[in-house]
Structure 1
């Protein structure tokens, strides 16, 4: 595993988390975050613990975004 590749991949993942692409809705952003985390684990850039952390962060962001769209309870 190349540390530079890992840093670049994680930086891109967090950029997508914090700055979704224009015209990307919340579900598309969430799906892309999960796909990217899966791919990083598949090719060995991250381990399963790191993968779970990313998935949890994506889920938290998705839940917050949905809550904001729906106005909360």
Structure 2
């Protein structure tokens, strides 16, 4: 197990990005990603620049997930 809290938090964030919860729709997935990014910034694991990168990646994933499928899962 990795003892670096930043790396663990980022690994969890990217896992959520790639594998949303089974019953999570696109909007819930996006909200959870933003919440996790906010939590990491508040905890001091990431800085504002890193936070913006995560938010941008969450936005891209959200846009891709709703493109052509009407916002469903």
**TM, length-normalised to structure 2:** 0.89
Aligned equivalent of 1:14: 14
Secondary structure in structure 2 of the residue aligned to 1:39: helix
Give the corresponding residue for 2:49.
49
Which ranges in structure 2 are unaligned for 5 or more consecutive residues?
Answer: none
Q: Report 1:1-73 matches (<5 A).
A: 4-70=4-70
Secondary structure, in 3 states, of the residue corresponding to 2:61? Answer: helix
2-structure distance, mates of 1:43, 1:16: 19
Q: Which has the higher helix share?
A: 1
**Root mean square deviation, CA, Å:** 1.1
Q: CA deviation at 1:68?
A: 3.6
Regions of 4+ moved over 3 Å? none
How many residues are treated as equivalent by the alignment?
68
Runs of 5+ in structure 1 lacking a partner? Answer: none
Question: What is the distance in 2 between the residues matched to 1:36 and 1:68?
Answer: 27
Q: TM-score, normalised by structure 1?
A: 0.89
